[in-house]
Structure formats: C-alpha cells, structure tokens
Structure 1
Amino acid sequence: MSLPTVAIVGRPNVGKSTLFNRLVGKRIALVDDRPGVTRDRREGEGRLLDLEFRVMDTAGFEDHDPASLPGRMRAQTEAAVREADVALFLIDGREGLTPLDEEIARWLRSGKTPVVVAANKAEGSAGEAGRLEAFALGLGEPIAISAEHGEGLVDLFEVLRPHVEHEHFQTEAEEVEEGTGPLKMAIVGRPNAGKSTLVNKMLGEERMITGPEAGITRDSISLDWQWNEKAVRLVDTAGLRKRAKVEDKLEKLSAMDTRRAIDMAEVVVLLLDATRGLEAQDLRIADQVIEEGRALVIAINKWDVAEHASSLFNGVKAALEEGLSQLKGVPVLTVSAKTGKGIDQLLGAAFEVRDSWSKRIPTGELNRWFERAIEQNPPPAPGGKRIKLRYITQVKSRPPSFVVFGTRVDQLPTSYQRYLLNSMRRDLDLGPVPLRLTMRAPKNPFHNKG
C-alpha cells in the first residue's frame, strides 16, 4: 500500500534539503549554502511523530526557458506537486517574502494540491516577521520552523496531519509493530529467589547451575525455546541486591548485566521468594522495570512450601498496590520452580501483557475516547483561564506512548493526566502496562488563541 506524499517546494536556498534530511532521519540530500545544489526530485520515507509518508525534495523553483537545465528542474518540481497529497511551501522567515515566493504562491493557488506554508530559519523568534508576512500569500496560516534545529515540528505535524493521516495505513503499521516475534522475557529478582531453577523447569533440562549459595549466576544468559508452539527468548539474570551490599566487583558487573537484560526485554518477570515475602528491594526492582517502560509480571516462587499462603498472597498484592501506585493491577501469580506448578499460567500472562504493551489504537477510536473523557471530566481552569485539549495521537507502542495537543497544557495538573491514563487503560483495554503521556502546545504566539 503506497504512502501519502509530501512535496517540499520553494525558491532556492530556503532550506528544503535540510528539512528533507530531518524528516527522513538521515543525510540523503546534499546541503550547501549555494542555490541549485538539488537538481532532481529526491524521495525518502519520512516520519513525524506517528505520521509516516513519502517525502519529495524538489529543485528550487526558478523562471527559466523550459529547455534549459533550470527549466527542466522546474518541470520536475511541478510534476512532484501534481503527484503529492500535500505541498509544503517553504519560505525563508528571516528574509521575508520575495517576488519569486509570490510567483510560486500564485502557481500553487492555481493547482489542486493542498498547500501548507512554513517560514523556515525561524530559530527562537527570528522568523516571526517573515511568518506574518506570509499570510499575504493567501495560502492559510503559516507556521514557523527551523529545519536545522528541529524547532516547530509539533506545529508542522498539526498542519500536515489532516493531509497524510490515513487510518488504513496506520492499521498496516499496527500489524508490523504488534509483537509477533519471540517473546523476549527476562526473569529478575533478589539472589536465591529461584530464578535458575525456574528456567531449568521451563526448559525441562539442567541448563543452569543451581544451588543454595546466592550469586551462582553471574551473567545474563539468553535461551531460545518453545512454549505451546510459541517462541520464547528467555533471559536468566544474576540477582539484584541493594547497592550498599554490592561490594564485590564481579557482583557489580552482574547487577549491570541484569539492568541491561531489563532494557532488552519486552516482559520482565519479577520472581519473589514465598519464604521471605515482598521486601523493599523487590519494589525497587519493580519500579526500575516500570521506569524502563517494560511490561511487568510478578511471580511468587516456592509456593509449594509457603506458610499461611492466602494471607501471604493478599499481603503481597496489597503491598504492590501501595508501593507501585503508578501502575495498578500488575499480574501476580504463584509458581513452584521445583514442581513446575503455575508455569503455564505465568507464560500465558506474559504473552497477554506483551499484547497490551505492543498495542496501537487507531487514531479515530483514540480521539472518540478522548472527546468522551473530556466531556465526562473537563480539564480545570486555573486562574479562570480555560485549558483547551484539542486532540490526542499515539506516537509509538512498546510501551504505548501518546501526545496530547492543546493550549495551556503546562498548567494541566498531574491528577488530570492520571485521570486520562486510568481512563485509557480501562476504556481502551490497555491493561496494566506502562503508558507514556506527553503534553504539547503549539509554539506560534498567534495560533488559535482562546
């Protein structure tokens, strides 16, 4: 399925190739202060937050004999604009409008391709005068950007979004991003919680050295295997102790290795020792997993020898609810690494939370939820000034990450952001996985005041 197309147009040396390089994420187009460096149409796959599109860098638009080289370059530019879903017309915000800018605007107005105008080289407020001048082009409200420094990209996202956001394309992207490869699962916990014994039981063979001495496992070991015809990449890690107790150099390296394993994992299983219950260090490990944005499952091991099992389980759940207040409802299961009981349930829960962790919500569904959530509980008005939340978009999955656009969002209380996250988990079936929520406001001082 073809991507929507953005054609960057403008007179020579306004920064078209610099913007092209920024959108495609690599230096493909040559950039130089001399005009005329770009001669052909150059294409690449661009990305801006969650928008994906084909971007075309065109030669500078000049008025020359069609048979000359500049004339042929202009013909290429005209063809690019005809093919595009939207033309991004770049002017130099510092220089302001020129007669050639006005000529290009007349040509763009005569065509059928939608046009958005951006005043480039507008670091800080350097291009504000040029941006305001560009209103005279009759092509709608111009935005201010700096292609070189990456400023104004949120505003660029806003103006391009209506032209290049296609639900059918995002659905295709969802399928690509959904976790269909091996489940990357790290097993972490305090020393001697039974991690290696659990791995051996899962594999059905003695792959790990085990014993009563804490700290036998020094390295993170990656193992590929199958569970119910599903691929699993299992990482058994060295135990994490309190930093104050990590004195031995080898143990320091093991702790670093465990942190790397968490970073590489999709799902992290925190293994507790039923004979010792939940300790402060367990909560610190769990907090680290959540901070790293990984999906978390808690497994209480040695359940076959646990005393007062029911009160122990309820106590662990209550302590987790209190100690992990930022993420409610983390799955808690009981296992016995020695007998193998509970291992199937543990793996089933791990695959389930990975599905939630990899989930993408279609933009339409997400914004319908957003409108309902705001209607049910409008944002506050600090100092009598209304905070207006305009729309939300998912910028990535694994973990699901969202950006909310609006005005005065810097004054939105943390409690309201927490309300949005909790509603999202409940209404969009995102489950107990870390979510990321960022607030963004347009930078243009005259943008949609009110």
Structure 2
Amino acid sequence: MTDTIAPSQTSKTETPSRWLARGGDGRLHAEDVSLDRIAGAVGTPFYCYSAGALRQNYVNLKTAIAASNVSICFAVKASSNIHVLAELARLGAGMDIVSGGEMARALAAGTPPERIIFSGVGKTRAEICAALEAGLHQLNVESSAELEIVAEVARETGIRAPVALRVNPDVDARTHAKITTAKKDSKFGIAIGEVPAIYAEASMRPELNMVGLAVHIGSQILDLSPFRDAWAALADLVRQLRVAGLAVERLDLGGGLGIGDDAQAGPDLVEYASIIAETVGDLGCALNVEPGRWLAGRTGILVSEVLYLKESAGVPIAVIDAAMNDLMRPALYGAQHPLLTVEAPRLVESDDVCRIVGPICESSDDFGRYHGLGTIVAGDLVVFDNAGAYGAAMSSTYNSRDLVPEVLVNGAQFRVIRRRTNIADALELEQAGSWLAGENSAG
C-alpha cells in the first residue's frame, strides 16, 4: 500500500496535507485553528477533519469527470460520521452503503434516497426491505442466492427492486491482498462468465427491475491500468447483453482510487477520466463512481500525546495515548501513516529513529519506526496524517478504552462532531435484562 512508508522515507514528515500548516510560533494548525487549542478542548487522542479540504476534493473530482457525466457516490464505510457525509451531500454527492446502519447515516446526513446505492455481499432481509421501502437508487446484488431473496422481499413489499449485478471480472488491482476484491477467488461479485445467464433470467421476473451492472476491484489503487482492464471487460459484457436483447441502463464503476503522499504521487485525475471515457463512455449508460479514500483520506488526522519514552534493543520508543483500537490500519494492513509533531521538530539528526507504539496489550499495537522527528519528549503532540479514511470508522473500544472524539474544522472554527464515549457510557449498554426461559425449561 502506498501509505505504507519505508522508514528511510519517513523523514519527509514536513510535507503535510495542504490544510495543515505551521503558524508563526512554529506549531501545527488545522486550517486556521491551532491543534493545541483543539487538544485542550477535547483531550487526546482525537480525529480532526478539514471541511474545506473535503469540499475541494469533491469539486476537483467532479470537475475532472464532468465530460463523461459521471455521478459520485461517496463510500460511506471510509468515513461515516454524519457531519462529514452532510458536507458531501450538500455538494450533490450520493452515497455508496454496505449496511442498514450506513443507510440510516446517509439519510440522516440529508442524502436523498434516490442518490444512495446499496452494495455489499451479505445484505439481510430486513436491510433489503428497508432499502426498498426507502426508495434507494439501486441494490448491487452479488450472488444468485441474494438475487432470490431480493425477489422474495420485493414480492412481499409490493415494491419492484432496482437491481444491478456486481461483476467479478478477475482483475488484479495490484494493491494490498486484503483490499483486492475482484480476483476470481474473491468473495465478492458474480464471475463474469456467469452474468449473462443470471441477468437474462432475472430480467424476466416482474418483481425485479434489472437496471445494469456494477464492479469494484479494490482499494488504494494508484496504477490505473487495472481500472482500464475491468471497465473494458464490463463494456464487452454490456454489448453482449444488448445483443441478447437485454437492457443495460446503468454502470456502477466502483471506487478504489488511491491517494498519494509526500513519498509517492497520487493518481492522475485526467488519466482517470480519460480511461472512463475510452472504455465505457460510448455505451449511453448512466455512470457513477464510488470513491471513499480519495475524497476523505487526506482530509483527516489523528492527534495523540506522547506518554512515556523508553528504549528496546537500542531503539528509542515513544508510547503514545492513541492505539490500534483508534487507528486499526497499521495492525490490520501493515500501513504506516506519515507522522508530524505539533511543535516544530527539535534537533533533527539525519540518522535519528523513533519507534511509535500504543498502550494496548497486543504486539500489533505498533505504528512503526520513524526518522526525522527530532527529539521527542513526554507531553509532545504527534499527528498521524492521511487518517481521514478507515480511521475513526474502524475504531473500537478494545481494552475498554474510550471511543475517541471527532472534530471538524472550518476556517477559524471547529466543533466536536462525535463526542468522546467513555467507560460510563459503555457500562450503560451492559445493563442486564430479565432472565428468559429457554425452549426446554420445565414449567
């Protein structure tokens, strides 16, 4: 993954996301707000997002793909706070969801249901029913078994289900194995060779409205050639279905567009738009893409305080108050986020190294080794950059730790958009209910 930075490259920590800058005192600011100010107000660790950067990313992507008239549905799983979603919804973004809970979030954020697409390999009957009753744009169906359940729920509700089949084109996204989703052994989608027969049969069912096809090949993709391969295969499939007299009105091209950092450039949006136009632009289909990380990744940071300093095998270790439950990506994917200090780096030596670890009782609670941070002391604030996607959305209360707050910055103002959830809140969820008799209980 490209945000996994080799230790020799982490000295480039002084090229942060554009909305982060040092003030006159040398201390780091988020837009026009000092991170010290936010830390004093909400405590550490905390997530912080830039509303301005999020809006600008959406505008940049929308402008790049405007010629092909492509709609954008934000992948809610990347950053699911309703205030983040609302910023995008106000700009006209739709939402790509993978659960009933995400549907509730998208709707609460003000997204019209006709701009919501329900993806996901394991939708329940209740979720399908809720989606149909809410009037969602379409359901991306991933198996014949799921298609049958959608048809049953559609009959029961009397609501014709708008369905797109998710195609597995057997294309390697050439990214991390845990976020590659379209190789032939993947759990996702329907093998491309099986789609024509399934699509034809489903098109004959009155309870189903077969509107098109969907594909999603993986995440954090910087080499755009896999997109070309997947969308070219999808275009061939559309032509095959149309020769058979079947209507294909929509194409969901999926997400996966990666982000760069100061160690590696991000993808070229002009090339991305060109590939869309060259592969599927002449089909006359309504097109949409589902970016998550590209829109949100570089708009968020995680701020943490250094608790203790120690040494192991001759390597300095900084123990911080953020942990793997707050930022799961290093433990889950081996990712290493760019790291900054809120205070201007002290006494930077070219060969200095510091290992950053969290307090959780797991060896995997280790954020990696960093060069170029300068002298670190207890009480310092450190910042994990590029943490706006799959950060807070994947956080948990493991080890009975607090669920960290989220803060949104807009110019010279900030506000808490998710309060810290502490142990008192957690214990409230564990109040015992009444004992219930089992099936085989006597009397």
Task: Provide the TM-score with structure 2 as the length reference.
Answer: 0.22
Higher helix share: 1
Task: Provide the TM-score with structure 1 as the length reference.
Answer: 0.22
- Bigger CA radius of gyration: 1
